[in-house]
Amino acid sequence: MSSELACTVVIPTYNRSALLRHTLDSLTRQHLPTDQFEVIVVDDGSTDDTADLAASYRDRLDLRYHYQPDEGFRAAAARNIGIADARSPICVFADSGVMLHADNLNQHVTSHQSHPGPTAVLAYIYGCTDTGAYSKLIGERLDVDDLDGSIERMQAQRECRDVRELFYDRYGEDLSRIPAPWQIFWTGNVSAETHQLRAVGGFDEQFRTWGGEDLDLGYRLHRDGAHFIFNRQAKAVHIPHERVLEAVIEDGERSHRYMAEKYRTPVIDLLAELPMERYFDFNELVAELLTQPAPSGRS
Query: For the segment 230-267, what is each residue's pLDDT rounded down to a tens digit?
Result: 999 999 999 876 554 555 677 778 899 999 999 999 99
CA distances from 145 to 19, 126, 136, 260 (A): 15, 17, 18, 45
Three-point CA angle 27, 31, 34, nearest 5°:
60
Is the pLDDT confidence value at 297 over 80?
A: no
- What rounded mean pLDDT belongs to the chain? 91
Res 244: pLDDT: 47
pLDDT at 72 (0 to 100) = 72
pLDDT > 70? residue 82: yes
- pLDDT at 140 (0 to 100): 87
Given pLDDT bands bounded at 50, 70 and 90, which one contains residue 92? very high
Measure the CA–CA gap between 153 and 125, rounded to whole angstroms.
14
Within 10 Å of residue 15's Cβ, how many Cβ atoms?
17
Structure confidence at residue 22 (pLDDT): 96
CA distance 196 to 225: 9
Strands 37-43 and 98-100: unpaired
Judge whether 100 and 26 are in contact, CB under 8 Å. yes
* Nearest alpha-carbon partner for 43 in 12, 87, 86, 74: 12
Q: What is the pLDDT of residue 58?
A: 97
Q: What is the pLDDT of residues 167-210, one digit of tens each?
A: 999 999 999 999 999 999 999 999 999 999 999 999 999 987 77
